[in-house]
Structure 1
Amino acid sequence: MSLQTPAAAASLRTVAAGQRITVRVPATSANLGPGYDSLGLALSLYDTVSVETLDGDELAFELSGEGADTLPRDASHLVVRTIDAALERLGYRRSGLRLSAVNVSPHGRGLGSSASATVAAVLVAAELVDAEVRPDRQWVLQLCSEIEGHPDNVAPAIFGSLALSWQDGAAFRTAVARVHRDVVPIVAVPDYELSTELARSLLPSSVPHSAAAANSGRAALLVHALTQDPSLLLPGTEDYLHQGYRASAMRPSAAL
């Protein structure tokens, strides 16, 4: 996940030791109904990541919660890799690091766990650098979207609430809408994992024009239902682009 050439890496500044940063990032539900790769909702489930920069090259880990027994405890850990990539983009590198993480979101269960980890890492990196080069949240959105490949999970993890995201050329953008007070998410967590790669591989390369047209109408209806009239949530969540194609890999969800 290196973002710079070896020659450029040699000129990187080292972040100061003795810094302690803690961030709390929400789980997210994205691909909401017909909002494929565009609509994401922040949930009141939070992963907490704390980082302390150390002298020397030590990497220390204190991991608890979901996935703690299986996650790597070396530089291949997603948070560490992403911190390194974000620091490189900002012209910095780290020395030693102590990573403490309390994971609440199950991995591979549709709650955006990798997006939450990516956002947490980039936010940490942004706080570790000198104040005069510290980036804003739009920069965080851009880098996280590049790393994840799309903004639908990372946007609500960064900005909260209901995030409506799109790509404008090479730039990722998002607008945040306030969710109606009567909308209360209930999360049904499956007892098996499904990788994003597998889920995306089930999708066709093209769909009929009629399906695309129907989906655009339902996506607009879903935004209205989530923000103005929750009584329309059921028709607003009907999708023509991804749910049917993925049903064979998510039979309990499809039945529900």
Structure 2
Amino acid sequence: MFGTGGEAGGMSAHGAVAPVRENCLTANDWICGEYLRTRAQELTDATVEHIWITGTSVLIGLLVAFPLALLARSRPAFAGPVLGLTTLLYTIPSLAMFSLLLPLLGLSAALVVTGLVLYSLTILVRNILAGLAAVPEEAREAARGLGYGPARLLWEVELPLALPALMAGVRMATVSTVALTTVGALIGRGGLGDLIDDGVQTTFKAQVLAASVLCVLLAVVADLLLLGLQRLLTPWTRIRRAEEAV
């Protein structure tokens, strides 16, 4: 019997061989649902690694930036060197940064995380300082009048009031780190960057597009989640804006 027309390798009603239909993978299309279906686990693993590297880097960066910002604020003589050093670190190209850290950390995830931590410092330190500088002096004086010491003043008065600027810095650092994490593909520790790099090297269009879109989505989702957290932690800012709008 003759095969129905359009089947791979089949015969048409007139006896002609029907053309073989390529799927989007063999056709190397940019948009390919088959790629998403067959490589779902690979995409998931790369996304999880990307999130882990980004989150770890920003968290460690915040832990390092906070004491540096406090040092710069409490001792003005250190402000210039701290800001200058963090800015200098941010200007170092990623390839050079990884090369400088390679003898110390080897080809490991720690190498990528350390580089990203150093890159995040300039944003975080500056925003922490800006937030603390924006605290009204009246609030400090009122707290001191109530017997607040330096530590209690910092944690219970200054930091809560500095949260909007601090969270803005965390948001910028996170979005920046999501993008910079892809550079870790240089040593095979770039999360979605590994897929992008491999796709570029092999001209695998669907992989390049899918990994790139996921990277953008990660940045957008992370920013929205942090914005929601910022609004949750600083309800008074919404009240203030509402009062100003009246």
TM-score grouping bracket, smaller chain normalisation: under 0.3
Q: Which has the higher helix share?
A: 2
Q: TM-score under structure 2 normalisation?
A: 0.25
Q: Which has the higher strand share?
A: 1
Q: TM-score under structure 1 normalisation?
A: 0.24
> If you compute each CA radius of gyration, which structure gives the higher value, 1 or 2?
2
